[in-house]
Amino acid sequence: MLSVYNFIAGGLIVSGLTGYGAARTGFYQQIAGTPLIWVVMLTPLAAVFFLSFRIERMSFAAAQLTFWIYATLMGLSLSGIFLVYTDASIVRTFFIAAATFGAMSLYGYMTGRDLTRFGSFLFMGLIGIILASLVNVFVASVALQFAVSVIGVVLLVGLTAYDTQRIKDIYVESDENELGSKTALIGALKLYLDFINLFVMLVQLTGERRDWENHDCRIHA
């Protein structure tokens, strides 16, 4: 499992640096008002599906490259967070998300309770949250956004524990063969997504907005 968390940590570093750099250099602002912003927002989703369905037929090197490209694109799509919220509140929320994620992942790894029965409920709930978030892009309801964020945090906390247990059950030591390395990579992708979305939901709830900005960041899957 150590290699799984190494991938997650590396992906978060790449995403964070990309997002911060794109916001501070003005690159994100330049594309925010153009059709390119939809490419930026939707490409990470396409990359997830590509990696999930093609990883068995890809070499580990190609799969790993796809993961790093995905982490970079995800960071670019989240650049708006650095424009909407203060740096201090982003850092604070990141550590809250990290502590919550770590605690639930540890629970999922250590518990003897079978969490499989909760998997379908959690996944369907997440799909509902994603759809509600997409609807809110057009209706811009503060109440709906608050409800989505609260429910989303609950669902993602559960998904973190569930995904960790599932990955533990199917995990093969990554240093034994290429199959084990791919298993670690796809497991890292799932938990990386859990963390990113948990962070986005929490920053929407607890983040302090900059005075000049009133823009919402949306959930990514």
pLDDT digits (tens, 9 = 90+) for 107-164: 988 888 888 878 778 878 878 887 887 777 677 777 878 888 888 888 899 989 988 8
The structural domains of the chain, with segments of one domain joined by +, span 2-206
Predicted confidence (pLDDT) at residue 175 exceeds the cutoff of 60:
no
Distance between CA 75 and CA 32 in Å, rounded? 14
Is the dihedral angle over the CA atoms 167, 170, 172, 173 positive or is it negative? Answer: positive
pLDDT of residue 180: 62
Predicted confidence (pLDDT) at residue 174 exceeds the cutoff of 50:
no
Q: Could you give phi then psi for residue 65, rounded to 5 degrees? A: -60, -40
Tell me the per-residue pLDDT of 44-81, one tens digit each, with 9 for 90 and over: 777 777 777 777 777 888 888 888 988 998 899 889 89
